[in-house]
Amino acid sequence: MEDFTDKKERKMPVKRTENLNLAPFGKGSIQRGTRKEMNFYFRGKVKVEGKEDYLLECKECHRTLPSIAFGTHTMRSNGAFSLLGMCRECKSTINAEVRSVRKNAPPKPDLCNCCHEKKVLQIDHLHGTTIFRGWVCRNCNTGMGSLGDNLEGMLQAAIYLEKDKSKIIEKLHKVYDEMFARTTEQK
């Protein structure tokens, strides 16, 4: 048998019993890659990034509101939660819109209504209303949203990619004909 008496005693890792949200910033470890002026405050027992008296602009309604009007989003590496980009009022309005659209939407098809690929589908609706547009994949939904959710944004991107107007129109006809052929085959 081996004798362990002269070897250094190995320390077992100690299980952390304290809530890191309640711990002082940077306690017990070296913080690397954090912002120099990381501020936080507490909402009850939840550590929130920023200062309580900060004013933020809602990305939906563009009103400037105190940070308490914004919900929390994700937890950062320092244990503080970041804030959502939209106020609670706008978030609840959008959630109500999506619930209403989902309730009245037709059944999910097998393929994305935009790219016609078999992917996980999301509901697409005309924002600010309960008008259903279709079932699209995440890539198509975020792509259209990034371009402004309108035809003008899509056309500006097409013009950016292809400067020749006749080539854009030719491609549009080709894609439209292929899309129309696919939709008639599915019926």
**What is d(CA 20, CA 25) in angstroms, rounded to the nearest whole number?**
9
pLDDT of residue 52: 82
Contacts of 80 (CB under 8 A, 6+ apart): 21, 38, 40, 47, 48, 49
Average pLDDT over residues 26-51: 68
Q: What DSSP string describes 135-160?
A: EEEHHHHHHHHHTTSSHHHHHHHHHH
Mean predicted lDDT score pLDDT of the chain: 80
- pTM of the predicted model as reported, rounded to 2 decimal places: 0.59
pLDDT higher than threshold 80 for residue 186? no
pLDDT of residue 120: 95
Residue 41 near residue 51 (C-beta atoms within 8 A): yes
Average pLDDT over residues 26-37: 49
Instruction: Return the closest-CA partner of residue 79 out of 132, 42, 106.
Output: 42
Instruction: Return the closest-CA partner of residue 149 out of 163, 129, 165.
Output: 129
pLDDT higher than threshold 90 for residue 150? no
Q: Which domains does the chain have, with CATH numbers?
A: 15-98 (3.30.60.130), 99-186 (3.40.1800.10)
pLDDT of residue 57: 93
Average pLDDT over residues 138-150: 90
Average pLDDT over residues 44-55: 86
Contacts of 127 (CB under 8 A, 6+ apart): 94, 97, 149
DSSP 69: G
pLDDT higher than threshold 90 for residue 31? no
Q: What residue has token string 């600010």? A: 128
**What is d(CA 87, CA 97) in angstroms, rounded to the nearest whole number?**
16
pLDDT higher than threshold 60 for residue 34? no
**HSE-CB for 14 with a 13 A CA cutoff:** 4
Average pLDDT over residues 64-76: 88
pLDDT of residue 54: 85
* Strand duo 81-87 + 70-75: pairing: antiparallel
% of the chain residues with pLDDT over 70: 76
Name which residue leads in pLDDT, 108 or 29: 108
pLDDT of residue 137: 94
% of the chain residues with pLDDT over 90: 30
pLDDT higher than threshold 50 for residue 19? yes
pLDDT of residue 13: 55
